[in-house]
Amino acid sequence: MRLRDLGERGLISRIERAAAKVSGRSVVLGIGDDAALLRSRAGDDLVVSTDACVENVHFRFANESPRSIGRRALVANLSDLAAMGARPTGFVLALGAPGDVPVKVVDGLVAGLLHEAARHGCPLVGGNCSQAGEVSLAITALGAVRRGAALTRRGARAGDRVLVTGVLGAAALDRARAERRGRVRHVAEPRLRAGLALVRVREVGGCIDVSDGLEADLGHVLDAEGLAADLEPAALPMPRGFRRACAELDLEPLALALGGGEDYELVFTLRPQGPSAARLSRRLGVAVTEIGRVVSGRRPRPRGWRHFEV
Amino acid sequence: MRLRDLGERGLISRIERAAAKVSGRSVVLGIGDDAALLRSRAGDDLVVSTDACVENVHFRFANESPRSIGRRALVANLSDLAAMGARPTGFVLALGAPGDVPVKVVDGLVAGLLHEAARHGCPLVGGNCSQAGEVSLAITALGAVRRGAALTRRGARAGDRVLVTGVLGAAALDRARAERRGRVRHVAEPRLRAGLALVRVREVGGCIDVSDGLEADLGHVLDAEGLAADLEPAALPMPRGFRRACAELDLEPLALALGGGEDYELVFTLRPQGPSAARLSRRLGVAVTEIGRVVSGRRPRPRGWRHFEV
């Protein structure tokens, strides 16, 4: 069956039924009215992040399952909430698709979205479906953070230590593999728990998630305060077996770890007297590695993913 | 200059500069971080509406200015907030566009969005730009409403009166004109003030905005409670000179008023003892017309705009 056989109403009902399985305490009114209604704890600040995944730009059906595409689409948004230290409350989806897309493809996309939604307590509360020349998922995720406590890109100071959660380069390696032979399989983990814990670490300076590559994203944190950083390349945390896998594909591990996008780790600066990386690892529930230091002076322009330039 | 010459960063900076002219009291942090931060009055419920406008589906550059397209895109979302009785707090934009789109086209779209944003106090607080095969604007608008007070589609009862703000059919007539000769010119008025006033009228039953056509949208209100309505066709409020303009184009005025989309008026049901239409007109700041009555029994399936079926 194709989307045009289902019709917009049919499609919305189908998504609504699937979405109903993921509930959230904040949802007063979900899909099916003019808008969704959410209720936060009084005094919380509202965090809003939006991101789009477009066919043949951010994903290809030829080398990735719809379910994986859906999962990655929501993870990208949840990661932005994590970088602010927010607890997810729900998301809305604007789905674009040509009428001849098989319904099972949309089912797979939605299943992937809802898989991550259920894992992270972020229900689908509303959306919009429209015809389009290609498949696209524009997602807006909402979260809550204690009033005034959100982490932002600002706040780094010269002398701060630079730390990063998890490992870098896994997503870039997976994409490189998929381009040559096979399928995209890697779905990153949005560091929501780590973000919630970081909000309580008062020595944190600036924080961001690694969506475009460590160099580019740390660059935003540094630029926000007109600073630079000395990174220790040997310290960059990489996945197990990463160097060997890179060698097999004739890839440069450091380039992937510094420039590869979609790691969705958190990179942040910390005052010198802040907790050790080992102590932070325990508090954040994920490995934390110290990779360098913030220094004064402007940094050269970072590399990273850029749209519209290809 | 084309979008690809500007690059994603350049495009975002350009939109950011334009957006900075429209401020909002609720905005703690706007464009430029991982997410936006908004602060509501403690105890307010959060209203979230999302809608997409896609080139060659919802608009055509051949017969409409980018500015008008942008205005209509935001109005569609503001109208959903109005239908819930919410005060707008801000919106985010996921913009998709091919790299060869002239930058001045995007400037026009953004200018149109921000024109309505400024008029209605709804700042652009975040977004995302990505390459796509066609131009699309996926907007998520956020609003606030007093805890528990939002208007919804539910709540109609048999015996309720049916009322509508403003006039019906103007947008459909304008589209019909544009198809034959000329340009889309009509930009509807989101009934935000009326929605805010309706929240305080305790005799209101169900409420919705007329985005797909009166018959289809009132149908959602009726379906929500398993009811039907007797409408008085002669009572439907139409624009001045509407019948003559329809006759010139060989169009049926009633079909446009009942089935034409994008009027963005509010249609709602009201308990029999509620205020008169004249009294409501004064309270809502816009003409209000009584057009029928809710009756028991199921209604036949409404007509309306449907995607994926063309």
Interchain contact B238–A (C-beta under 8 A):
no
Question: Which pTM does this prediction carry?
Answer: 0.91
C-alpha triplet A286, A71, A195: angle, nearest 5°:
30
Distance of CA B233 to the CA centre of its chain: 24
CA B219 from chain centre, in angstroms, equals: 17
Residue B44, min C-alpha distance to chain A (Å): 7
Q: Please state the domain extents for chain A.
A: 3-145, 161-296
pLDDT at residue B300, as a whole number: 57
Contact in structure between A171 and A260 (CB atoms under 8 Å): yes
B192 touches chain A (CB under 8 A): no
Q: Which of A28, A48, A81 sits opposite B92 (nearest CB)?
A: A48
Q: Which residues of chain A neighbour B306 with C-beta distances below 8 Å?
A: 7-9
Q: Would an 8 Å CB–CB cutoff place B102 in contact with chain A?
A: no
Please, what's the largest Cα pairwise distance for chain A? Answer: 62
Contacts of B83 in chain A (CB under 8 A): 34-35
Could you tell me how far CA A214 lies from the centroid of its own chain? Answer: 13
The C-alpha of A235 sits at a distance from chain B's nearest C-alpha, in angstroms, of 26
Q: Under 8 Å CB-to-CB from A276, ≥6 apart: which residues?
A: none
Q: Which residues contact B31 (CB under 8 A, 6 or more apart)?
A: B12, B15, B16, B19, B124, B125, B126, B127
Query: What kind of fold does domain A3-145 have according to CATH?
Result: 60s Ribosomal Protein L30; Chain: A; (3.30.1330)
Of A32, A34, A307, the CB nearest to B209: A34
Using an 8 Å Cβ cutoff, are B7 and A308 in contact? yes
Q: What is the pLDDT of residue A302?
A: 43
> pLDDT of A109-166, one tens digit each?
999 999 999 999 999 999 888 899 999 999 999 999 999 999 999 999 999 999 999 9
Q: Contact A295/A232 with Cβ under 8 angstroms?
A: no
- Chain A residue whose CA is closest to B11: A308
What is the distance between the alpha carbons of residues B160 and B269, in angstroms, rounded to a whole number? 6
**Weakly modelled stretches of chain B, pLDDT under 70:** 299-310
- Asked if A11 is an interface residue toward chain B (Cβ–Cβ < 8 A), one would say yes
Q: Work out the minimum CA distance from A179 to partner chain B, whole angstroms.
A: 20
Which of 3.30.70.600, 3.50.50.60, 3.90.650.10, 1.10.565.10 is the CATH number of B161-296?
3.90.650.10
Quick check: A152 and B49 CB within 8 A?
no
Sign of CA dihedral A259, A237, A268, A83: positive
Q: pLDDT averaged over chain A?
A: 90
Q: Does residue A15 register a pLDDT over 60?
A: yes
- Min Cα separation B241/chain A (Å): 31
φ/ψ region of B9 (left if φ > 0, alpha if ψ in -120 to 50, else beta) reads alpha
Mean pLDDT value across residues A20-43: 81
Q: Which residues of A touch B208 (CB under 8 A)?
A: 34
d(CA A239, CA A7): 45
User: Identity (one letter) of the amino acid at B247?
Assistant: A
Query: Which residues in B79-107 are b (16+ Cβ under 10 Å) and which e?
Result: bbbbbbbbbbbbbbbbbbbbbebebebbb
pLDDT at A308 over 70: no
- Best mutation target among A48, A58, A131, A305 (most B Cβ atoms within 10 Å) is A48
Q: CA A71, CA A66: separation in Å to the nearest integer? A: 9
Comparison of pLDDT for A299 and B165, the residue scoring more: B165
Other beta carbons less than 10 A from residue A25's beta carbon: 9
Q: Is B250 on the interface with A (CB under 8 A)?
A: no
Instruction: Calculate the CA A206 to chain-centre distance.
Output: 17
- CB within 8 Å: B36 and A45: no
Note whether B69 contacts A: Cβ–Cβ < 8 A.
Answer: no
Q: Which strands sit side by side in the sheet containing B266-270, from one edge to the other?
A: B204-209, B266-270, B161-165, B288-296, B227-231
Report the C-alpha gap between B47 and A79 in whole angstroms.
23
Tell me if domain B6-145 and domain B161-296 are identical in fold. no
Residues of A in contact with B94 (CB under 8 A): 50-52, 94, 138, 140
Q: Which two tokens stand for residue A21?
A: 């399985």
CB contact (8 A) between residue A126 and residue B50: yes
- pLDDT for residue A300: 57
CA atoms within 13 A on the CB side of B294: 30
B128 Cα to chain A: minimum distance (Å)? 6
Distance between start and end Cα atoms, chain A: 35
Mean pLDDT, rounded, for A26-35: 81
* Length of chain A (residues): 310
Quote the minimal CA–CA distance from A274 to chain B in Å: 24
Tell me the CB-side half-sphere exposure of residue A64, using CA atoms within 13 A: 26
Element (H, E) at A227: strand A227-231
Interface touch B35/A143, C-beta < 8 Å: yes
Looking at CATH, the fold of the domain delimited by B6-145 is given as 60s Ribosomal Protein L30; Chain: A; (3.30.1330)
B56 at the A interface (CB within 8 A)?
yes
Q: How confident is the model at residue A301 (pLDDT cuts 50, 70, 90)?
A: very low
Strand partners, A78: none
- Asked if A92 lies within 8 A of B127 by C-beta distance, the reply is no
Average pLDDT of the residues in A196-224: 95
The pLDDT confidence band at residue A35, using thresholds 50, 70 and 90, is confident
Q: Between A and B, how many CB-CB pairs are < 8 A?
A: 238
Burial of B247 (0-12, 13-18, 19+ CB in 10 A): exposed
Which residue matches tokens 């015996």? Answer: B159
Closest by Cβ to B7, choosing from A125, A136, A308 = A308
Task: Kindly state the percentage of chain A with pLDDT values over 90.
Answer: 73
Chain A environment of B86 (Cβ under 8 Å): 35
- Phi, psi for B154 (deg, rounded to 5): -80, 160
Give the model's pLDDT for residue B299: 61
Chain B residues in contact with A25 (beta carbon < 8 A)? none
C-alpha span between A210 and B172 (Å, rounded):
46
pLDDT on residue B306: 40
In sequence order, the 6+-apart residues with CB closer than 8 A to the CB of A289 are: A163, A164, A235, A236, A237, A277
Pick from A7, A138, A142: CB nearest B48: A142
Nearest to A57 among B58, B131, B307 (CB): B131
Chain B residues in contact with A309 (beta carbon < 8 A): 4, 7-8, 99
CA atoms within 13 A on the CB side of A305: 18
* Percent of chain B as helix, strand, coil, to the nearest 5: 35, 25, 40
β-pair partners for A55: A59
